[in-house]
Structure 1
Amino acid sequence: MPRFVTPLAVALVGLILFGHGAFIHAKAVLAQVLLDRAFSQTVATGHAAKPWSWADTVPVARIEVKRLGVSTIALAGSSGQALAFGAGHVEGSAEPGEPGVAVYSAHRDTHFRFLRDIKIGEEIDIVRRDGKTFRYRADAARVVRFDASGIDPGTESAELVLSTCWPFDALTPGPERYVLHATMIAAGK
């Protein structure tokens, strides 16, 4: 009997861990469906819609890269809670299409995983919560320390920055950030 207890205990622990991982994945997939629905409702009604009743943020934009087939919802703010579910529009940065720099941040292994595949010259569309779409062209990328981004918020042109941790394949957090800069080439349709 004792020789069956250890394998049974190991199998039970494995089953619990597998179930926990499956639950987290299912929750992430459901969150994206709810975020997409809330953003569509926001655009249609003009009123911010929460993706779920206890959410502490609302969807404010959709970031799209057509060549890569990427579409991700951005949330208001860049708190850890917001970044757990999507990209975050950094507090105090410009709105897309407005003078200044609209800054969005997200995790390198989830919502901004696609940044590794963006090429200079790539077009990025930002759909705001009012339904207007602004097209940007990627014109520079660099790796910087988190506290030395070099982003100039006082610019008069409409610019975009997508930022994530660097390097892309790291397993632990570090002080470096990948910063993709883009300039607006087409305004709100």
Structure 2
Amino acid sequence: MSISFLAKHPVPCSLFLLGILVLGHGAYIQAKAYLAQFLIAQAWQQTLDDQQVHKPWQWADTYPVAKLSFVTKQESIGFKHQVESVYVLAGASGRTLAFGPGLVLSGAKIGEVGNTVIAGHRDTHFANLAAVNKGDLLQVEASNGEILLYQVVNTQIAHQSDTQFMAPSDDNRLTLITCYPFNQLSGGAEQRYIVEALYVNKPSAI
């Protein structure tokens, strides 16, 4: 594109250059997200190998603590095939949730008796919650390699001020939280979508 052409057609050329910048920025964001997931997966494998905490990158203020898999529902009860897995990171700050769902540190740890609470963004890592139903299975891989199976017993919508679903419990339960509604484009959602699941040795017909 010559300088003379730019001088004669300033508006179209400006729009063209702006488009290139926008596309370039989008590609950069996608590449950054892909690299982050690769590094998190690498850190998780190192944790499984030596049972130590490994940050995905040197300046990270979080680290992977579990691998959560959503499992499809079938008509017959039995082990069901996984459809997607996400790495769960320590803490639920805004910085952490940008890279994956975060374990709320005030709740029970992964695999412990109590209420293990994990929060995630509705438009990325926890978008799958929209398709989760009562009776579905959630599989959690702990840092020691143990596979924990949870069965969904309830889904509900609550106001953000309602924190009873984060309260401690005497059973071994998993609570997943994301903003609601799922299709809302603007931020500042006041509602939360909650998935409650209980630890099971064998799936039951619910």
Indicate the SS of the match to 1:148. Answer: coil
Indicate the SS of the match to 1:116. Answer: helix
Show the 5 A alignment for 1:149-188. 149-151=163-165, 153-173=167-187, 174-186=189-201
Equivalent-residue separation in structure 2 for 1:72 and 1:92 (angstroms): 21
Equivalent-residue separation in structure 2 for 1:3 and 1:100 (angstroms): 69
Show the 5 A alignment for 1:1-189. 2-67=7-72, 69-151=83-165, 153-173=167-187, 174-186=189-201
Indicate the SS of the match to 1:160. Answer: strand
How much has 1:152 moved relative to structure 2?
Answer: 5.4
Aligned pair in 2 of structure 1 residues 25, 184: CA closer, same or farther (>3 Å)? same
Equivalent-residue separation in structure 1 for 2:166 and 2:45 (angstroms): 32
Equivalent-residue separation in structure 1 for 2:201 and 2:165 (angstroms): 22
Count of paired positions: 187
Any conservation in 2 of the 1:96–1:134 contact (CA below 8 Å)? Answer: no
Equivalent-residue separation in structure 2 for 1:134 and 1:114 (angstroms): 19
Any conservation in 1 of the 2:180–2:193 contact (CA below 8 Å)? Answer: yes
Greater radius of gyration (CA): 2
Equivalent-residue separation in structure 2 for 1:151 and 1:135 (angstroms): 20
Equivalent-residue separation in structure 1 for 2:28 and 2:141 (angstroms): 31
Equivalent-residue separation in structure 1 for 2:133 and 2:14 (angstroms): 50
Amino acid at match of 1:32: Q
How much has 1:77 moved relative to structure 2?
Answer: 0.1
- 1:139-160 C-alpha deviation (Å, 9 max, x unpaired): 1000001120322533111000
Structure 1: 4+ residue segments shifted above 3 A: none
Q: Which runs of 5+ in 1 are unaligned?
A: none
Any conservation in 2 of the 1:43–1:129 contact (CA below 8 Å)? Answer: yes
Equivalent-residue separation in structure 2 for 1:152 and 1:38 (angstroms): 28
RMSD, aligned CA: 1.4
Identity across matched positions, percent:
35
Equivalent-residue separation in structure 1 for 2:68 and 2:161 (angstroms): 25
How much has 1:161 moved relative to structure 2?
Answer: 0.5
TM-score, length basis structure 2: 0.87
Amino acid at match of 2:64: P
TM-score, length basis structure 1: 0.94
Equivalent-residue separation in structure 2 for 1:71 and 1:122 (angstroms): 15
Equivalent-residue separation in structure 1 for 2:102 and 2:116 (angstroms): 11
